[in-house]
A and B are shown apart, each in its own frame.
Chain A
Amino acid sequence: MTQSSPHAHRAGVSFEDRMATVDFRVAERAHIVVDTSVCLSCELRSCVHACPAALFVPTDDGGILFNYEQCFECGTCYQVCDAPGALSWTYPEGGHGVAFRQG
């Protein structure tokens, strides 16, 4: 999904290679859920550029495509999102999600 990101290749190393340096133990259940019907009426879309993992991708129909699998669990998206109900945010189930080796 990150290959199709409009932001790939801007920082020297491709965004896919950048994300490949991080370990993720992907849970079956998505810990963040985006209600794309709310996103349709959002003009700011700060999540798209602010998410450090570039997990929010605008779609042609004006919605947002979101992938939880490579999430840093940082919380930036829910802090920049002003639309009530657009994002439901929790942490992944225990032992899953991002596992930084150095941090």
Chain B
Amino acid sequence: MPPETNPVPAFDVVVVGAGPAGSAAALEAARAGLSVALLERGPYPGAKNVYGGVVYGRILDELVPGWWEHMPVQRWVTRRSTMLLTDSQALTVDFRTEDWGRPPYNGATAFRAELDGWLASLAEAAGAVLVPSTTVTGLLRDAAGRVTGVRTDRPGGDLTARIVIACDGVNSFLAKEAGLFAQVPGKQAEHTSLGVKETLALPRKVIEERFGLTGRHGQDIEVLGCTGDIPGGGFLYTNLESVSVGVVLSVVGLAASGERPEAVLAGLKEHPAIAPLLRGAELKEYSAHLIPEGGYDSMPELVTDGMLVAGDAAAMCLAAGIWLEGVNYALGAGMYAGRSAAVAIAAGDTSRAGLTGYRRMLEESFVLADHRRLRRVPGLVFSERVQQSYPGLLCDVAQGFFTVDNPRPKPGLRRLLSGAARRRGVRLRHLLSDAFTGTRSFG
């Protein structure tokens, strides 16, 4: 059917998924004066969503000026630590700054149910129609293959739109149905990690004493070397009256390991450097979710005729060692998707060509610039050396450096390093090449 004979669509834009990407897209599209439906399969936004626990604020400055006055925050992150573990050792780099504890704030811990609900309410206030408890079951397309809406599980639930913005999460059945993953090499499992998390209740006072915090200040700890033979990592974040502790496990590594995810998490919780922080805590919620960790090279096509993809659905999580971010990329991508939809509709061209502004906006912003710059890092972080050898190597060097065994003379750093490298089976040229990749990416 030629496009001009199609009936008038029910909405200008249908957004699938009321996570951060979807709500940001709906907010921007509604602000541009478009009619917008925001579909959510959960009974409320955030019902299906899990993340580590930290959201970074800079993109919100543009999307929601003065956001920190309104966002449902648990704690402002003022202390950020990276911990390298072996079974019996821990080497921690611990940074704290008062600057992050006052506006404009760097990052905050927040619960997804509260954060996602707040973001969706902003889209609603701008005029978007939030439709919860509605599962999208497929795409509507015209004879030419152009996306013209979505099919839902409601009776008579076809919903037509000029543009569909798919923010349907890490499993994105819509992006797959549209064929956008056709060019991505390998199986999805190779680019995906499973996060399992426990939210553990602790009294506010106990948290402040154990983590050295005051008021609404919070700590964010990223952990490497706590997942045994499975590539991955861990985290521990403070909320107001609870802590979130979890592990992130490569799906392929988990499948090969025979280990259970909550048993790996139990191992982290029992580590001598972690256990004292959690003593007496009571399990409030156990949760699990997949994370698209493959980075730039695992991203699908972002645009097709009548459709845009943003957030986890487009693999926009950044898993680059101590850079573990996702919600900020989802917010940015959603915002640009909403804007691009408005531009395309105003120009009367919602084809793939009319929507290419989205890709350009992403390339010119932090969303794809960061991902492109760090495209080699996911592979590096999941490499056997970074996972198995370096935490032990660095812990051994620290132990040697801080061990006092006079009257024997103190060994120099170089000797400590070469000794530790030999013990941990690391070759100097590999160390140098990994350092080069890291420096080139992060530098």
B-facing residues in A9-46 (Cβ within 8 Å): 10-13, 15, 17-19, 21-22, 25, 44, 46
Residues in A whose Cβ lies below 8 Å from that of B255: 44, 46, 50, 80
Known: A10-B262, A11-B262. A95 touches B251 (CB 8 A): no
Q: Which of the residues A22, A53, A79, A94 comes within 8 Å of B251, measured between beta carbons?
A: A79
CB distance from A73 to the nearest CB of B (A): 6
**Which of chain A's residues has its CB closest to B196's CB?**
A52
* Given A79-B251, A80-B251, A22 contacting B283 (CB threshold 8 A): no
Residue A98 at the chain B interface, CB threshold 8 Å: yes
Additional A-B contact list (13), CB under 8 Å, known A50-B254, A74-B290, A102-B199: A21-B285, A52-B261, A52-B262, A54-B260, A74-B194, A76-B254, A79-B188, A94-B41, A99-B48, A101-B113, A103-B113, A103-B287, A103-B289
- Determine whether B412 belongs to the interface, using a CB cutoff of 8 Å to chain A: no
Of A21, A75, A80, the contact of B283 (CB 8 Å cutoff): A21
Question: Known: A13-B283, A80-B255. Contact between A102 and B112, CB under 8 A?
Answer: yes
**Mask of A63-89 contacts with B, CB within 8 angstroms, 1/0:** 000000000111110011000000000
**Interface of A toward B, CB cutoff 8 Å:** 7, 10-13, 15, 17-19, 21-22, 25, 44, 46, 49-50, 52-54, 72-76, 79-80, 90-95, 97-103
A94 touches B112 (CB 8 A): no
Q: Is B134 an interface residue (CB 8 A)?
A: yes
8 Å CB interface, B181-211 against A: 187-189, 192, 194, 196, 199
Task: Report the minimum CB–CB distance from A86 to chain B (whole Å).
Answer: 14
Bound: A100/B43 CA distance, A: 10
Interface of B is mostly: mixed
A13–B286 CA distance with the chains assembled, in angstroms:
11
Whether the pair A79, B49 counts as a contact (CB closer than 8 A) is no
**A11 to B50 alpha-carbon distance, docked (Å):** 21
B169 to chain A, nearest CB (A): 9
Consensus secondary structure, chain A interface: loop
Q: How far is the CA of A53 from the CA of B170 in the complex (A)?
A: 18
* Interface check B390, CB cutoff 8 A: no
Contacts of A52 in B (CB 8 A): 194, 196, 261-262, 288
Chain A hits for B258, CB < 8 A: 49
| CA A71 to CA B281, docked complex, whole Å | 25
Q: Smallest Cβ distance from B185 to chain A, in angstroms?
A: 16
Cross-interface CB contact of A95 among B43, B112, B189, B269, cutoff 8 Å: B43
B135 CB contact (under 8 Å) in A15, A46, A54, A91: A91
For B133, the chain A residues whose CB sits under 8 A away are 94-95
Measured between beta carbons, the chain A residues less than 8 angstroms from B173 are 90-91
Complex contact A74–B283 (CB within 8 A) = no
Minimal Cβ-Cβ distance residue in B for A92 = B135
CA distance A22 to B289 in the complex (A): 13
Distance in angstroms from A71 CB to nearest chain B CB is: 10
Known: A74-B290, A79-B189, A80-B189. A95 touches B42 (CB 8 A): yes
B422 within 8 A of A: no
- A19 and B196 CA atoms in complex are apart in Å by 13
| Docked pose: A13 CA to B50 CA in angstroms | 21
Query: Once the chains bind, are B113 and A102 in contact (CB under 8 Å)?
Result: yes
Q: Given A95-B132, A100-B49, A102-B199, does the pair A18, B42 have CB atoms closer than 8 Å?
A: no
Distance of A52 Cα from B152 Cα, bound (Å)? 28
Q: List 14 A-B contacts (CB under 8 A).
A: A50-B194, A53-B288, A74-B288, A74-B289, A75-B290, A79-B187, A80-B254, A99-B43, A100-B46, A100-B48, A102-B112, A102-B285, A103-B112, A103-B289
Inter-subunit contact A76/B251 (CB<8 Å)? yes
CA of A98 to CA of B288, assembled, Å:
11
User: Which residues of chain A are near B170, meaning CB under 8 Å?
Assistant: 75
Q: Which residues of B contact A100 (CB under 8 A)?
A: 46-50, 112-113, 285, 287
B 229-270 binary contact with A (CB < 8 Å = 1; else 0): 000000000000000000000010011111111110110010
